[in-house]
Amino acid sequence: MDATALRAAAASAATAPVFAALGDPTRQTLLSLLAQRGRASASALTPAMSVSRQAINKHLNVLERAGLVESTRSGREVLYSVRRDELDRSAQWLRDVGEQWDRRLAMVKALAEAADAERTQHGPPTKP
């Protein structure tokens, strides 16, 4: 495996927990709410959700393990906020993958156009 492939594999492994966490609609909603509010506790987020505070806590823990939110204590409350760096890193990984596919598709297009030009220039193959 070359260095580029190794870097791509490492980046993919690093983003897997992020995409797994974002695969749940409840966690997506929680992340959006936190992005809007800046910081909030599980209790403050519960009224906006259709699940219990305990479920909210579990979802927030998944988001925290994935590096998408961080928690801080404020007295007896635990406040959560969005960690943009992990979102940015995952978005960059998606852009990189998209650019790789764009390059591959451009190469396939160039090969197809070259083959078409060759056929046009020399005419159809003749049968022996």
Lowest mean pLDDT among 5-14, 30-39, 97-106, 113-122: 5-14
* CATH number of the CATH domain containing 6: 1.10.10.10
User: What contacts 41, CB < 8 A, 6 or more positions away?
Assistant: 77, 78, 79, 80
Other residues' Cβ atoms within 10 Å of the Cβ of residue 94 = 11
Does any domain span residue 127?
A: no
Q: Which of 1-5, 10-14, 37-41, 100-104 has the highest mean pLDDT?
A: 37-41
Q: What is the pLDDT of residues 29-68, one digit of tens each?
A: 999 999 999 999 999 999 999 899 999 999 999 999 999 9
Does any domain span residue 128?
A: no
Domain count along the chain: 1
User: Considering the chain, what percentage of its residues have pLDDT values greater than 90?
Assistant: 44
- Residue-range definition of the domain harbouring residue 39: 1-121
